[in-house]
């Protein structure tokens, strides 16, 4: 019988925006009971973000980040709120927070205190920088972290300014690193019976992802450079294709030809595009010469890609054993049958929005299915958590509401 891998694990979610919610959502998808602790009346800050993803009072961006969770309201700035959090810590397995540096400690819950309350608990924190960093006390979000973590220094066109990706390259990987740290700590606890402190620093996550850049330590890696860690590469980059449909603005493909032994990649490429003469041209005999004559190389490539749409280019070159990628966006994904068949994309009914398509997780476990559940309304699970888990009566709950504790 199939079962969820993290069934029986209770997680207190004290997170906001993306890095922390990404982590706790992954835990929830694999069966952990994730209890999101939010401010009374207002909720987590991300609920109130405005933008094209907000429809009425419902924020689809927030909903995507908080599937498979329960929501309770709790004012952690009140003494009664702190007492209740202490009660919840006693009956939980994991607590995750990514508040601004020093916030959880000011509330009275440093690691030492949490470990004293429950020696079995795993306490996971996501911060921008390590405690020894000159930036340790600075606020951190995805964009600044891409800048300080090394993404921007390597991203952009040759001679142009650094570029920050719209993809959350700082937030999302930090959440996944934290997920991995928590699961590792849970395994350790199964052997020792003792919890531990998990700390993830976002700047270090990006540096970890980009660890190959440390292979070049005697000079700066320039933006848009065709000289890469894989060697001299030309052609390499984005090339414009024939539009796939009227108004197609993503009609581009990324392709590269490595300076491979025997120049087999360049041979396969020139054969695939019908230009065997280019393989015999001494200007293009290897990566060094192609890079010196990059403008002429790119002209040959552009003449060919402009005659095909992006998926045709990808198909032709990949069949020639040359890794190539068509530029695909959200509209491509929503039409991709394979993503539904593998259940990476799932349809569900989100209250206030109706049927929506939600990404699940890229992790696949053969015996642990993932079913995406809608994000909760604010305080949706107060009754269950406070009454069933903590034993509060309705009268006690009414009093807590009147005092603005929950």
Q: Which residues of 219-243 are buried (b: 16+ CB within 10 A; e: fewer)?
A: eeeebeebbbeeebbbbbbebebee
C-alpha torsion 284→286→289→293, nearest 10: 40
The reply to whether omega before 235 is within 30° of 0 (cis) is yes
Distance CA 7, CA 33 (A): 7
Classify burial at 245, counting beta carbons within 10 Å of its beta carbon; exposed 0-12, middle 13-18, buried 19 or more. exposed
Active site residue 171: yes
Compute the Cα dihedral for 334, 338, 340, 345 and give only its sign: negative
Q: Are strands 54-55 and 354-359 parallel, antiparallel or unpaired?
A: unpaired
Q: Which of 171, 259, 309, 381 is catalytic?
A: 171
Check residue 192 and report its DSSP letter. Answer: H
Check residue 143 and report its DSSP letter. Answer: H
* Contact by Cβ (8 Å): 179, 361: no
Tokens standing for residue 188: 């350790």
Tokens standing for residue 281: 């041209």
Distance CA 250, CA 253 (A): 9
- What is the layout of strands, in order, in the sheet containing 236-240? 236-240, 252-256, 324-326
Dihedrals φ, ψ of 29, to 5°?
-65, -25
Distance CA 138, CA 142 (A): 13
Three-state SS for 199? strand
Distance CA 174, CA 169 (A): 8
* Contact by Cβ (8 Å): 290, 263: no
* Contact by Cβ (8 Å): 21, 54: no
Distance CA 33, CA 101 (A): 26
Which active-site residues does the annotation give?
171
């Amino acid at each position: 019988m199939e079962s969820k891998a993290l069934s029986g694990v209770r997680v207190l979610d004290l997170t906001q925006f993306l890095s922390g919610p990404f982590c706790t959502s992954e835990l929830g998808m694999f069966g952990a009971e994730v209890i999101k602790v939010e401010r009374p009346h207002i909720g987590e800050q991300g609920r109130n973000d405005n933008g094209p993803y907000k429809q009425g009072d419902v924020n689809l961006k927030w909903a995507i980040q908080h599937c498979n969770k329960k929501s309770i309201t709790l004012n952690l700035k009140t003494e009664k709120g702190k007492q209740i959090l202490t009660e919840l810590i006693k009956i939980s397995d994991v607590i995750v927070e990514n508040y601004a540096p020093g916030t959880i400690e000011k509330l009275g819950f440093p690691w030492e205190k949490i470990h004293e309350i429950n020696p079995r608990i795993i306490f996971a924190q996501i911060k921008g920088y390590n405690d020894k960093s000159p930036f340790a006390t600075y606020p951190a979000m995805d964009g600044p972290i891409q800048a300080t973590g090394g993404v921007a220094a390597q991203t952009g066109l040759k001679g142009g300014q650094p570029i920050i990706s719209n993809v959350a390259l700082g937030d999302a990987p930090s959440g996944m690193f934290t997920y991995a740290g928590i699961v590792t700590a849970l395994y350790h606890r199964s052997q020792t019976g003792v919890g531990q402190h998990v700390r993830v620093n976002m700047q270090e996550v990006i540096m970890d992802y980009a660890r190959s850049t440390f292979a070049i330590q005697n000079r700066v890696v320039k933006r848009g450079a065709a000289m890469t860690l894989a060697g001299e590469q030309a052609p390499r980059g984005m090339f414009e294709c024939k539009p796939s449909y009227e108004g197609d603005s993503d009609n581009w493909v990324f392709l590269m030809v490595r300076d491979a032994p025997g120049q087999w990649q360049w041979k396969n490429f020139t054969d695939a595009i019908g230009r065997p003469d280019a393989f015999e041209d001494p200007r293009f005999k290897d990566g060094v010469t192609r890079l010196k004559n990059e403008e002429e190389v790119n002209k040959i490539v552009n003449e060919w890609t402009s005659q095909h749409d992006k998926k045709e280019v990808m198909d032709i070159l990949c069949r020639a054993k040359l890794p190539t990628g068509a530029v695909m966006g959200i509209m491509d994904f929503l039409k991709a049958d394979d993503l539904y068949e593998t259940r990476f994309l799932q349809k569900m009914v989100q209250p206030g929005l109706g049927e929506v398509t939600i990404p699940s997780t890229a992790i696949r476990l053969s015996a642990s299915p993932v079913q995406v559940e809608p994000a909760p309304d604010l305080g949706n699970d107060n009754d269950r958590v406070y009454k069933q888990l903590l034993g509060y009566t309705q009268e006690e709950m009414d009093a807590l509401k009147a005092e603005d504790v929950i």
